[in-house]
Amino acid sequence: MLTSRPQMHAADLVVALLEGIHAASAAEAVRLAERCGLDVLLCYDIIAGAAGGSWMFTNFAPSMITGKSPSDTRTLGDALAKMDEVLAEAKRLSFPLFLGSAAHQLILSAISPSKSTSSEPISSLAKAWGTGTSSTTSVSTSASTHTSTNGTTPTPTPSRLPRVGFAGLGAMGLGMASTLVHKGFPVTGFDVWQPSLDKFVAAGGKGVKAPREAARDAEVFVVMVTNAKQADSVLFGDDGAIRALPDNATIIVCSTVPPDYIRSLAARVDGLGRGLKLVDAPVSGGVARAADGTLTIMAAGSPSAMASASSVLTALAARLYVIPGAAGAGSSVKMINQLLAGVHIAAAAESIAFAARLGLDTRAVYDAVNVSEGASWMFTNRVPHILDADWRPTSALDIFVKDLGIVLSEARIVEFPTFMSAAAHNLYIMGSAAGFGREDDSGVVRIWERMTGVSTASPKPTPASTSTAPGTYTPATPFTAFPSVPLSDVLAKLPAEYPTDPNPEIREMVASGSLPTLVVLDDDPTGTQTCHDINVLTSWSTTELQEELDTEKIGGFFVLTNSRAMVTGEAYDLTQEICRNLLEASEKSTKRSRGVSIVLRSDSTLRGHFPNEPDAVESVLGKADAWIVCPFFLAGLRYTIDNVHYVGNDQGILVPAGETEFARDRTFGYRASDLREWVEEKTAGRVSRESVVSVTIDDVRVGGPDRVRDVLLGAPKGGVVVVNAASDRDMAVFALGLLRAEEAGKRFILRTAASFVSARLGIQPKAPMTLSDLGVTEEERKKGGLIVVGSYVPKTTQQVSSLLERRSSHLHVETVSIFDLSNPSDDHIASYVSAVSSRLVSNIESGRDALVVTARELVTGATAEESLRINVKVSQGMVAIARGVLERVRPRYVIAKGGITSSDTATKSLGMRRAKVAGQAAPGIPLWVSEDPRTVQPGVPYVVFPGNVGTKDTLAEIVERWARD
């Protein structure tokens, strides 16, 4: 019978949840280590001070190993009572606790009559797997045999350092190989990625193109690749190292791979009969420790193998543990550490999300947990990422899909059930499936955020003078600063444009029907601003996509995704969905032999979901030969010159993009103006600035299409190319060069602004359209126009001011506020929307133009995602107002200002599913017409007015012209 206990406070529930999970995972790790035949006390010594450590592991694992009673008097009954209360509260809140539930069941299992009683210490939780083999005996005979570089006899330094071959110069491998070079070892390195080889050569090493070249004459060969498959390829592939290694050489495998793979590899190496030796030496410590030679290494192998490898291992490690047993033992110890680390990260996420659901300040909870029995190394290290909503990868989530997969695989071999590891593994799989795989592993918290609607972020308070833009990546080399420059001066220094107009050849290629259909995924409706006579889909079922593929006549079409209005995970999921549907539709299409080419049209001021959307495309359609970044847009005064992207202003000055208000965007901010540095910044260093290839102005204007083609053909597989352009002729030259590179078999994913699309399709500009051009009848002209403004960028504010100044006597104005549109009372919102809509209808009916505009004070949230949600909430209110007008009156025209606003007005207020871009209302300002009978007002002219395009007077000029027309 369990005794009653006082009800816990909310913060205590979070600590209790972590205590239960950490105790259960500690027991699972200890018993799995025992089942795998490891020195369990040595595992404890290694892990207690490493990434797998926690307060519960440190204080209870020794008792689980030895069977001795711990000094802590808490019992299984205490743990069960706490977890009962935690789960009861979670049930009341409808909040899922995946790991908490698994821990609860293990505690119950340990208390079952055949195992323990509720009065036994928490360390008896290890009995949930039965009594098994006593670990005390194995520890007592082997605990004294382990050695490490701190506190044990050091390995003698050899009189000559061995020649080293090194395969795998990734984030960790490059630092390790460079450390060996700096310590005097002759090192020959191999990697498939040329920029990594270049960095290694710059560090003083020798770089080669194949593993066999790195292995030739090597006395020690180090393998530091991602997984077992890559390790096998490096060693036994067509250009593998094994055949080139001298007899009696030593192979050190530092990768995290399954212990079973290492054991089978040892047998294969031994079976060659050449005296080759294998050391199993997985590493831990991260990129920084790899670079300064202070890793933790868990090494196992025969005495002769360890002797041969000792100088290399000692050079790389601050803590070198020699694990008793043959090759495979080192990987088994690393596996136990990863079991705990992986469960603890997921536990940190579950507990912080639970804290948010309890209504607690998550940053205050973080501080409290760190001084409690719920603390762990991973909680301390990873939760700050969660609080800052910072998903830049310290360690990618997909790594734990792999590493916990290794735990489950090895556990299956030894027939050991791993309840906690399996639960955590499924959480990481869910995170990977949601598109978070390449982002930080702490991002697994977004599973709970999506399921329950909680927000775990809690940024540190910052002074008013401190920038809060999300561009927080810290590069090894600072980003370059550039001055603002007069546009005329810059253009005067450029070479003359390429003399031959590429457009006739482009149009001929498009008309031939041999090119892939260009499918433009547009993250807001403004991407059509340089096109005409092309269709836009606002829905993307397989049937709709197939119909458009079969019937389009211009060589391509747009799909309006509006993904810039979404959080990153949603944008990634949506892009995947469209690509899957597009793939199916393409296979069914009558034009399936043509294939499709994907363009991700986004903002010319560099805002949007990069690199997430290209990643999403590749996850469905496969790896492209390269990504191309091309943000030039003439109508918006966006130029890229000498790799610097500029935003022009009304005074004829080019301002580096990183110095503009767009770079301070709360959702998509950045600091770099050099596009190569911008790519590095947005990929958080995944793509270095040095690896980015440039198509220069000279390539375009002097070399022409063939030079562009050659640059693209020479780009490294999987690389990134940035495009310089200062005129529409430049864009057409680039487009023709791209088509020639595609004819040579290359496939690219493009992230561009609007100008590229018209250049690639050979669409020539035409004059801005009038109401007469559109066939608006005299009867329809009697009504007023509707102008909906939701954008907050400074240019929009200037344009609204100009409109009010020039048209105030002819204009009815409704100014709405976020505080009314986000009122917690649905009745209040409905009443407010109805009243505003009625006043607008009355004025439009009388022939007066009507402007509905959000208050110009920008309200932001504490995080980038919260700011985006506020924007969406305002847009929803504007949509309801516009819908209320359009259902009751047909305006002379509709103008929507701003990306989110124009998308929602098209799809939700007007109900458009398919529209044609008739042309432009002014340069860079698209004009759509939908004759689809499902549209609320079929045929009404719809102006998609970007927030940051035009002069301060452009909006007023359109309204004036269409009033007189």
Cα torsion 293, 295, 296, 302: sign: negative
Structural contact between residues 806 and 868, judged by C-beta atoms closer than 8 angstroms: no
Give one DSSP letter per residue of 355-371, joined into a string.
Answer: HHHTT--HHHHHHHHTT
Alpha-carbon distance 67 to 45, whole Å?
Answer: 17
Q: Which helix (H) or strand (E) holds 638?
A: strand 638-641
Q: Of these residues, 127, 199, 334, 908, which one is catalytic?
A: 334
Q: Which residue has the tokens 């944008």?
A: 571
Distance (Å, rounded) from C-alpha 458 to C-alpha 455?
9
Length of the chain: 965
Q: List CB contacts of 417: < 8 A, sequence separation 6 or more.
A: 129, 411
Which of 782, 889, 785 has its CA nearest to residue 838?
A: 889
Closest CA to 85 of 2, 182, 188, 194: 2
Amino acid at 87: L
**Cβ-Cβ contacts under 8 Å for 493 (sequence gap 6 or more):** none
- Dist CA 507 CA 474 (whole Å): 45
| DSSP states of 302-359 | -HHHHHHHHHHHHHHEEEEEE-SSSTTHHHHHHHHHHHHHHHHHHHHHHHHHHHHHTT
Are the C-beta atoms of residues 338 and 256 closer than 8 Å to each other?
Answer: yes
Residue whose C-alpha is closest to residue 345's, from 10, 51, 23: 51
Question: What span, in angstroms and rounded, lies between the C-alpha atoms of 928 and 712?
Answer: 35
539-570 burial code (b ≥16 CB/10 A, e <16): ebebebbbebbeebebbbbbbbbbbbbbbbbb
Name which of 21, 846, 617 is nearest 352 in CA terms.
Answer: 21
- Tell whether the torsion through CA atoms of 621, 627, 632 and 638 is positive or negative: positive
Cross-strand bridge partners of residue 485: 654
Cβ neighbours, 10 Å, residue 356 = 24
Q: At what angle do helices 228-236 and 259-271 cross, to 10 degrees?
A: 10
Helix (H, G, I), strand (E, B) or coil at 926: strand
End-to-end Cα separation, the chain, in angstroms: 87
Q: Which of 374, 419, 365 is nearest to 54 (CA)?
A: 374
In eight-state DSSP terms, residue 75 is B
Q: Would residue 334 show up in a list of annotated catalytic residues for this protein?
A: yes
Structural contact between residues 616 and 740, judged by C-beta atoms closer than 8 angstroms: no
Token duo for residue 441: 């592993």
Asked if residue 578 lies in contact with residue 566, where contact means CB atoms within 8 angstroms, the answer is no
311 neighbors 286 (Cβ within 8 angstroms): no
User: Active-site residues: which are they?
Assistant: 334
